[in-house]
Amino acid sequence: MTRQRGEVVVETRDLCMHFGGVRAVDQVDFTLFDRELRCLIGPNGAGKSTFFKCLTGQLTPTSGDVIIRGQEMTAAEPFEVASLGVGIKTQVPNVFDGLTVEENIWLSARRWHGDSRARSLTAATIERLRLGDIRRTLVGQLAHGQRQWVELGMVVAAEPWLVLLDEPAAGMTHEETYRTVELIEEINKTSALIVVEHDMQFIRMISRTVTLFHEGRILMQDTMEAISADPRAREVYLGHRA
């Protein structure tokens, strides 16, 4: 059911993240292959973001392992995960509000390259994401959707081989959402992706293997069509929205 394209790049084994009595993530075994595009869905509070934070080092799991490209990353700091070449976008936009769009993106490119290469990569990224008109605007003055794009720009400018996006289309207009889907497809030509999303329209547009979270566990993992047709999935998730 998963399209296997070579090596496993992300793996969790028996991953648990408990907050007191709340089992936000519980015994999750997860595998992502190279160049795969995977969507994580599930109702609010299902544990998607918590799982995401365990992958990115923002949370240290209660138990279990996170392995990225063969490296044990369970207790790693976020910068160590990012330093493997992983691009990360959080659910709540994290951008540098007091700096310009250009410098936000430059800071990402500069992590990996010298000054002149970083600058040309910044220019290319700004062009690619069509941020040219606002390149010198402070990010704090932008609308929510544009800030999301700046954050996507930072992810892209680092040229990551693995991209982790938590609700990238939240708060975007229909047009922006559509372009985000295009961008994700484009990123997927060279990188593996995990996209956490709540919005079903969005997931249908991407339409790949979908992992359905429910109460901290993986309930199903299949194509979107199969999940849409499954009564259990309808009950926990689709039922809420229908």
Partner 1 sequence: MLRQMRPTLVYALLGIVFMFAAPHVLQLFTIINLTTAIALAILALSLALIWGYGGILCFGQVAFFGLGAYVYTISAINIGGSTWAILIAVLLTSAFAAALGYFIFFGRVSDVYLGVITLTVTLIFFSLIRRTSGPEYKIGKALLGGFNGVSSPPINLPWDARTFLFPEQVFYVAMAALILCYVFVGWLVNTKFGRVCVSIRENELRSELLGYDVRLYKLGIFTIGAGIAAVGGVMFCNGVGRITPDVFNLYNAALTIIWVIVGGRGTLIGPIGATFALFYLTSALGGQSVLNNNLVLGVILIVFVLLVPKGVAPTVIDWVNRRRRKRPVRSRRRRRGRAEDAR
Ligand X SMILES: Nc1ncnc2c1ncn2[C@@H]1O[C@H](COP(=O)(O)OP(=O)(O)O)[C@@H](O)[C@H]1O
* Chain residues in the site for ligand X (CB under 6 A): 19, 22, 24, 42, 44-50
Length of the chain: 242
Positions 137 through 176 that interact with partner 1 (CB under 8 A): 137-138, 154, 158
Nearer to Mg ion, 160 or 168 (CB): 168
Nearer to partner 1, 73 or 158 (CB): 158
Positions 79 through 98 that interact with partner 1 (CB under 8 A): 79, 82-83, 88, 90, 94-98
Buried b or exposed e, range 101-139, using 16+ CB within 10 angstroms: bbbbbbbbbbeebeeeebeebbbebbeebebeebbeeeb
d(C-alpha 122, C-alpha 104), whole Å: 9
Nearer to ligand X, 47 or 168 (CB): 47
- Name every residue whose Cβ is closer than 8 Å to that of residue 75 and which is 6 or more positions away in sequence: 60
Nearer to partner 1, 164 or 181 (CB): 164
Query: CA dihedral defined by 52, 10, 118, 114, rounded to 10 degrees?
Result: 120
CA distances from 235 to 128, 222, 240 (A): 40, 16, 7
Q: Which does 45 bind (CB under 5 to 8 A by kind): ligand X, Mg ion, partner 1, none?
A: ligand X
Residue 49 binds Mg ion, judged by CB under 5 A: yes
- Looking up tokens 């910068």, which residue turns up? 79
Nearer to partner 1, 12 or 108 (CB): 108
The window from 47-55, 62-70, 179-187, 225-233 that contacts Mg ion (CB under 5 A) reads 47-55
Q: Which does 5 bind (CB under 5 to 8 A by kind): Mg ion, partner 1, ligand X, none?
A: none
Q: Are 195 and 206 in contact (CB under 8 A)?
A: yes
CA distances from 154 to 28, 55, 121, 158, 171 (A): 29, 19, 11, 7, 18
- To the nearest whole angstrom, how small is the minimum distance from the Cβ of residue 99 to partner 1? 6
Positions 15 through 74 that interact with partner 1 (CB under 8 A): 56, 58
Q: Are 98 and 140 in contact (CB under 8 A)?
A: yes
Residues that bind Mg ion (CB under 5 A): 49, 91
- Binding residues for partner 1, rule: CB under 8 A, are 56, 58, 77-79, 82-83, 88, 90, 94-100, 102-103, 106-108, 110-112, 115, 136-138, 154, 158
